[in-house]
Copies of this chain bind each other. A is one copy, B any other.
Amino acid sequence: MRRQITGFSNPTVKFLRSLREKKHRKEAGKFLAEGLRLLTDARENGFIPEVLVMAENRDPHPLLEALERDVIAGGGEVIETSDDILTKITGKDNPQAVAGMFSEFNTRLSTIDRASAKIWLVAQALRDPGNLGTMLRTGDAIGAGGLILIDDCADPFSAEAVRASMGAVFTQKVAQAKWDEFLPWLRAGEGQLVAASLRDAVPYRGAPYAAPCFVLVGNESRGLPEEYEAACDLRVTMPMRGRADSLNAAVAAAVLGYEVLAALD
């Protein structure tokens, strides 16, 4: 279906705008992704938006036309609207000319096939959606299977996480679990749990990594709880030559993730 929306108080506009808040995303089970590049990545991975919202004054683009056709063919809705209304929906002053609404994915641990990749990233109590999205992006780059979010993390379907993922939210598996659920799941199959740590740790270069390798990083300010570190198969440490005693969480995951990739390649 195709239609034009010109009114700010239109219920669809209000609904899409409400998805900026986590509470409303969870109620509806929907999220937004912005920009033709992200939506094209989604499409090439088999994810077609249920609703596509486009600026009336957008530049024509063959990829956008292909996307429109797929949305219509899939029974979805294509909406044309003004820049102002797009700004209202996305909350950005200079919105991309197009945004898509998707159903949130099933993020249960049981959806993860650990044998499908040699590396999995795991984050515990990660609070920053930008870090979360960056870890998805890094996971894509190192050929990880996905990102497992332990305990109370930022929402992977927030606009900031989706944006920072640069489309990897559509290519990486995402799972969410409490530690008490994750650890038995991990131990029920093959898998090496590796923590970036300062305690009882070996140098991260040349450490005995083994596939499937689960690379665990902790909360941005507190790091990993001691008992989580103790439950790991391997604790590794990166050089810290300055005054600081830790790296940004997404940076730590990337430096360690690339090392694991080199070791298991």
Q: Which residues of A contact B (CB under 8 A)?
A: 41, 44-45, 130, 134, 137-143, 164, 166-168, 171-172, 205, 238-244, 246-248, 250-251, 254-255, 258, 261-262, 265
Contact = CB atoms under 8 A, between A and B. Distances in A.
A130 B254 CA distance: 16
Contacts of A254: 247-248, 251, 254-255
A170 to B, nearest CB: 9
A142 B251 contact: no
Given A243-B140, A243-B171, A134 B255 contact: no
A134 B244 contact: no
A242 B130 contact: no
A238 B250 CA distance: 17
Contacts of A242: 139-143, 168, 171-172
18 contacts: A41-B243, A137-B251, A138-B247, A138-B248, A141-B240, A141-B242, A143-B239, A143-B241, A143-B242, A164-B248, A166-B244, A167-B244, A168-B244, A238-B258, A239-B261, A239-B265, A250-B250, A251-B254
A136 to B, nearest CB: 10
Contacts of A143: 239, 241-242
